[in-house]
Amino acid sequence: MITHFKPSSGAHVGANASVTHIMWQVMLAMMPATAFGLWCFGWPALNLFVITVLSAVIFEAFCLRLAGKIAKPVIMDGSAVLTGWLVAMTLPPWAPWWIGVVGSGIAIVLGKQVYGGLGQNLFNPAMLARIALLISFPIEMTTWANVSPLFFSQSPSLAESWHITFSGLENIDAHTGATTLGFIKTEFSQNHLLTDILKDYSAFLNFIGWSRGSLGETSALLLGLGGVWLIRQKVIQWYIPASLLLTVALLASIFHLIDSQHYVSPLLHLSSGAIMCVAFFVATDYVTSPNTPTGQLVFGTGCGLLIFVIRTWGAYPEGAGFAVLLMNSATPLIDHYIHPRIYGRDRKGKPLEIPKS
Amino acid sequence: MLSFFSKPLIRGGVHAEDHKSLTAELPIVSNFPLPKNLYIPLQQHVGKPAEPVIKVGERVLKGQLLAYSQGMISAPVHAPSSGIIQDVNDYPAPHPSALPIRTIVLETDGLDQWIETQTIEDPFQLTPEDISLRVGAAGIVGLGGATFPTAVKLNMGRENQIETLIINGSECEPYLSCDDRLMQERAMQIIDGVRLMLHGMTNSPEGHLTGKSGIKTGNAVVAIEDNKPLAYKAMQSAAVLYPQIKIIQIPTRYPMGWDRQLIRYVTGKEVPVGCRSSEIGVTIHNVGTAYAVHKAIRHGQPLLNRVVTIAGGAVERPMNVEVPFGTLISELFEFCGVRNDQIARIIMGGPMMGDSLPHTGLPTVKATSGILALTHNELKNAAEQPCIRCASCITVCPAGLRPLDMANNIRINQLDVAVDLGLKDCISCGCCSYICPSNIPLVQYFKYASGEVMARQQAEHKSEQTKRLIDARNARMDRIARQQQDEEQARLAAKAERERLKAEQEALL
């Protein structure tokens, strides 16, 4: 007779999924866009990326130690690396080192650990960090480096990159400019028409990511491909990205058709700014988005609506971060009202009536 | 396009690796050596335990009644072989707790001598009432695992307007293949059992005359998952003469065999919470039950044994084997060459819904569809991580629950909220635990909470009872005190009266 203790019920076998696996798949999906961004913006971007990810891990370990937990297994789940990675993707590529450190600090400490760690936070940590930085340090957060790929003659060398990252950029005007959305916003304020504003604009270069912008957010093409791969891998579902992008595209089309001189075309909306990154990698965050397909459609539509409104009529050229945070705060409410119907009960939870035959 | 808008017939569910082929390709082994001792629990079914009719030391024959059914919902227990009754006492039950329950111990004599059985030439001459009486007397219960007395279901079938009899041949649990093999090898007998069940649920002519209820049972649907093509073919050729019995293939998806999921898939109807399926005109039985009905009615044999799947990584010769009830799992494991050092967990039933057993010194019972000896590598036993709200548990829940919210509330001991979220509608199918990337044992949470809620209700009931008793006692004490006071006053009054009379008399004198 063999004795086995620890009796337990419920599925004794399991699917091949783990939190770590999910995190790594998301990072793999972000890899092409990040690699392209790092190449486009050279050594300073790489410095900033490494600093941001490393400090995210260090902040996480610090918080866990403070809470009296063993840090290593929690670090190994990859969520801190992912958060640091997402923060880095949203930063201006040549931002100074302390922007990355402060960003990671806000994301990990204020965005995640004060709520109780993984799975407990109300707001997406990376977007919280982005918005906090944007409001606190508007100059650093809107200094956009020109595209200056690695190993090109006019690009900064590794030694120069240390200088840019740690003691700041000299001769700013020669190396920086405005993002597409930022440029359009300032030009609109001077009552210029869209045809004049977009004289030098190339939709193709903007689409593949050859333009000024955040470190990992410029390439709509690679972000989109990574996102579609994630959907195919069943890591995320299509509801949020599709509803978000469709809402923006639909609203932009309507206004663009009404007045093509004052409202940007839907294609430009979709290929500029943070929208692709947000739609596939930020708004789909499990922790801060609703649980049901219908709830996710509502959430995505709300994000899309807010992005369009802020971009078109707001003071900021890009509203994706604000939109996600606002909708994050609505997530508990959405989950409260939209939930699946229990078998044998109606939507209100009352038992079904016996059909009369 | 229309189907896109219609209600989905299957909700939730998972595709688990099925591990069935090892046992599904081998014939049922029926030469299992008769064990020396059989441990036959008196409760192998839902309802009241059976009451023994034998004495210790008595010799019994195979098929002889050992314990009769008590009450409306119960089932009798018969001797699986001939031999001497050794003991009627408490022995460990095949349950995760292995707590003792009343059990008859039968020492077999190796003769396997049958009691006289009654073979019936044409059972369709019997009245439907007689069919369910015989099914009840044979101790037949739902062999899919629910172990609800079959006769009670047949009676409910006659009392309600049943349109469809569903025979559940889905066998959606991984590893198990006992129903599959049974359908492949004994399709004719199963179909015969189905016809007898249909007959047992039709209303007799007298019922029609009294106009009590107009039962129109006449159709049966045998549903088989499409990963069992051989069973499907065998059943189809066995049913070819009977147009009232339809054999259909259903998608392979756990838990298709959940009766209510299957009812919705086959009939499009949903059973309301708190109702029996017969109330919406559907009755569902397992294929093994149909086979048992055939044996009971045609050959007069009570339910004495069943086909059990022995499988898992630690089993050297996995197989489907016909075993008498009361056989200890340790003997089965020995027969199948289970490598004891490799066992990480013993499970009764399938790996999704089955319970793990603490040791192998437990008997097989009517509910035992399989015994699994799983190795460490087959188990899901990584460390529990925090919930990341990925909502895959919501996606896979066939009952439409929100397991993650329920578990979070249970963790902070808010059981009332968990009940409001639908705790009582959980069927413990295990899909949520299976899919959870954070390895949270959700079903364990729910079972704990259900038990705790029940215990709290009982405690509440008890304290109410105590309060009522105290109130009654106080009232009684008050009444007695008042009575005594009244008596005292009456006594005083009488005394005063007496004294007055005495004084008057004295005055007169």
CATH (domain of A83): 1.10.3430
A with B: how many residue pairs have Cβ under 8 Å apart? 180
Whether residue A235 lies inside any domain: the answer is: yes
Residues 6+ apart with CB under 8 A from B320: B23, B26, B27, B28, B29, B177, B178, B181, B307, B308, B309, B310
Q: Residue B334 in contact with residue B341, Cβ under 8 Å?
A: no
Whether residue A224 lies inside any domain: the answer is: yes
**Cα–Cα distance measured from residue B52 to residue B41, given in angstroms and rounded to the nearest whole number:** 11
One digit per residue, the tens of pLDDT, for chain B of length 509 reads 344 445 567 889 999 888 998 899 999 999 999 999 999 999 999 889 999 999 999 999 999 999 999 888 999 999 999 999 999 999 999 988 888 999 999 999 998 999 988 888 888 888 889 999 999 999 999 998 889 999 999 988 888 878 889 999 999 999 999 999 999 999 999 999 999 999 888 875 554 444 444 445 578 999 999 999 999 999 999 999 999 999 999 999 989 999 999 999 999 889 999 888 888 889 999 999 999 999 999 999 999 999 999 999 999 999 999 999 999 999 999 999 999 999 999 999 999 999 899 999 999 999 999 999 999 999 887 788 899 999 999 999 999 999 999 999 999 999 999 999 999 999 999 999 999 999 999 999 999 999 999 999 999 999 999 999 999 999 999 999 999 999 999 999 999 999 999 998 888 87
Among chain A residues, CA nearest to B437: A18
User: Encoding tokens for residue A73?
Assistant: 């297994």
Whether residue A11 lies inside any domain: the answer is: no
> Is residue B255 reached through a cis peptide bond, with omega within 30 degrees of 0 on the bond before it?
yes
Average pLDDT over residues A200-225: 91
Q: Which of B351, B359, B439 sits opposite A4 (nearest CB)?
A: B359
Provide the pLDDT for residue A242. Answer: 97
Residues of B in contact with A351 (CB under 8 A): 272-275
Q: Which of A12, A118, A340 sits opposite B351 (nearest CB)?
A: A12
Strands B37-41 and B370-374: unpaired
User: Encoding tokens for residue A111?
Assistant: 């965005």
Fold of B1-29+119-300: Rossmann fold (3.40.50)
Q: Residue A184 in contact with residue A195, Cβ under 8 Å?
A: no
Q: Which of A3, A18, A340 sits opposite B382 (nearest CB)?
A: A18
Q: Cβ of B271 under 8 Å from any chain A Cβ?
A: yes
- Considering only CA atoms, which of A57, A155, A46, A60 is closest in space to residue A93? A46
**Cα–Cα distance measured from residue B144 to residue B168, given in angstroms and rounded to the nearest whole number:** 8
Q: Cβ of B100 under 8 Å from any chain A Cβ?
A: no
- Total residues belonging to chain B: 509
CATH architecture of B385-509: Orthogonal Bundle (1.10)
**Cα–Cα distance measured from residue B296 to residue B305, given in angstroms and rounded to the nearest whole number:** 12
Provide the pLDDT for residue B171. Answer: 93
DSSP structural state of residue B79: -
The mean-pLDDT minimum among A195-204, A347-356, B1-10, B438-447 falls in: B1-10
Q: Cβ of B251 under 8 Å from any chain A Cβ?
A: no
Q: Residue B290 in contact with residue B194, Cβ under 8 Å?
A: yes
Residues of A in contact with B344 (CB under 8 A): 4
Q: Which of A1, A119, A355 sits opposite B386 (nearest CB)?
A: A119
Strands B77-78 and B59-60: unpaired
Whether residue A56 lies inside any domain: the answer is: yes
Contact yes or no for B352 and A18 at CB 8 A: no
Question: How many domains are contained in chain A?
Answer: 1
Among chain A residues, CA nearest to B338: A2
Residues of A in contact with B425 (CB under 8 A): 342-345
**Cα–Cα distance measured from residue B352 to residue B326, given in angstroms and rounded to the nearest whole number:** 24
Burial of B466-504, coded b for 16+ CB within 10 Å and e otherwise, reads eeeeeeeeeeeeeeeeeeeeeeeeeeeeeeeeeeeeeee
From chain B residues 3-32, the ones with a CB under 8 A of any chain A CB are: 11, 14, 16-17
**Cα–Cα distance measured from residue B467 to residue B464, given in angstroms and rounded to the nearest whole number:** 5
- Considering only CA atoms, which of B203, B84, B200 is closest in space to residue B152? B200
Residue-averaged pLDDT of chain A: 91
Residues 6+ apart with CB under 8 A from B173: B254, B257, B349, B350, B351, B352, B353, B354, B369, B370
Name which of A3, A5, A12, A233 to mutate to probe chain B: the one with the most chain B Cβ atoms within 10 A of its Cβ: A12
Burial class (CB in 10 A: 0-12, 13-18, 19+), A146: middle
Compute the nearest-CA separation of B479 from chain A (Å). Answer: 47
Q: Which of B274, B275, B374 sits opposite A12 (nearest CB)?
A: B374
Q: Cβ of B393 under 8 Å from any chain A Cβ?
A: no
Provide the pLDDT for residue B208. Answer: 44
**Cα–Cα distance measured from residue B200 to residue B192, given in angstroms and rounded to the nearest whole number:** 12
Q: Which of B96, B388, B443 sits opposite A286 (nearest CB)?
A: B388
- Considering only CA atoms, which of B105, B76, B71, B108 is closest in space to residue B90? B105
Helices (H), B341-422: 392-396, 403-411, 415-420
Burial of B354-393, coded b for 16+ CB within 10 Å and e otherwise, reads bbbbbebbbbbbbbbbbbbbbeeebbbbeeebbbbbbbbb
- The reported pTM is 0.87
Strands B164-169 and B282-286: parallel
**Cα–Cα distance measured from residue B373 to residue B309, given in angstroms and rounded to the nearest whole number:** 11
From chain B residues 353-392, the ones with a CB under 8 A of any chain A CB are: 353-361, 372, 374, 378-380, 382-383, 385-392
**Cα–Cα distance measured from residue B32 to residue B456, given in angstroms and rounded to the nearest whole number:** 46
- Considering only CA atoms, which of A286, A278, A295, A273 is closest in space to residue A340? A295
Compute the nearest-CA separation of B469 from chain A (Å). Answer: 36
Provide the pLDDT for residue B7. Answer: 59
From chain B residues 122-181, the ones with a CB under 8 A of any chain A CB are: 161, 163, 174
Strands B51-52 and B65-68: antiparallel
- Considering only CA atoms, which of B222, B204, B370 is closest in space to residue B290? B222
Contact yes or no for B356 and A15 at CB 8 A: no
**Cα–Cα distance measured from residue B51 to residue B63, given in angstroms and rounded to the nearest whole number:** 16
Q: Residue B255 in contact with residue B398, Cβ under 8 Å?
A: yes
Provide the domain limits for residue A123.
19-149+176-337
Residues of B in contact with A12 (CB under 8 A): 345, 347, 351-352, 354, 356, 372, 374, 379-380
Give me the sign of the Cα torsion angle B209, B211, B212, B214: positive
Compute the nearest-CA separation of A97 from chain B (Å). Answer: 30
Provide the pLDDT for residue A356. Answer: 63
- Considering only CA atoms, which of A139, A148, A39 is closest in space to residue A99? A139
Whether residue A157 lies inside any domain: the answer is: no
Secondary structure of residue B219 in the 3-state scheme: strand
- Considering only CA atoms, which of A278, A253, A283 is closest in space to residue A268? A253
Q: Which of A12, A117, A355 sits opposite B347 (nearest CB)?
A: A12
Provide the pLDDT for residue B205. Answer: 53
Provide the pLDDT for residue A191. Answer: 87
Contact yes or no for A344 and B273 at CB 8 A: yes
DSSP structural state of residue B425: G
Contact yes or no for B400 and A341 at CB 8 A: yes
Among chain B residues, CA nearest to A351: B273
pLDDT in tens, A33-69: 999 999 999 999 999 999 999 999 999 999 999 999 8
Q: Residue A281 in contact with residue A26, Cβ under 8 Å?
A: yes
pLDDT in tens, A218-275: 999 999 999 999 999 999 999 999 999 999 999 999 999 999 889 999 999 999 999 9
Contact yes or no for B354 and A357 at CB 8 A: no
From chain B residues 431-460, the ones with a CB under 8 A of any chain A CB are: 431, 433-439, 441-444, 447
Compute the nearest-CA separation of B462 from chain A (Å). Answer: 29
Q: Cβ of A16 under 8 Å from any chain B Cβ?
A: no
**Distances in Å between the alpha carbon of B19 and those of B71, B175, B319, B436?**
41, 5, 12, 21
Q: Cβ of B214 under 8 Å from any chain A Cβ?
A: no
Q: Cβ of A220 under 8 Å from any chain B Cβ?
A: no
**Cα–Cα distance measured from residue A201 to residue A178, given in angstroms and rounded to the nearest whole number:** 12
pLDDT for A2 beyond 70: no
Residues of B in contact with A121 (CB under 8 A): none
Whether ipTM tops 0.90, in short, is no
**Cα–Cα distance measured from residue A272 to residue A325, given in angstroms and rounded to the nearest whole number:** 20
Provide the pLDDT for residue B450. Answer: 92
Counting Cα atoms < 13 Å in the Cβ hemisphere of B192 gives 16
Provide the pLDDT for residue B204. Answer: 55
Contact yes or no for B360 and A1 at CB 8 A: yes
- Considering only CA atoms, which of B154, B190, B195 is closest in space to residue B169? B190
Q: Residue A91 in contact with residue A48, Cβ under 8 Å?
A: yes
Domain residues of chain B, as ranges? 1-29+119-300, 385-509
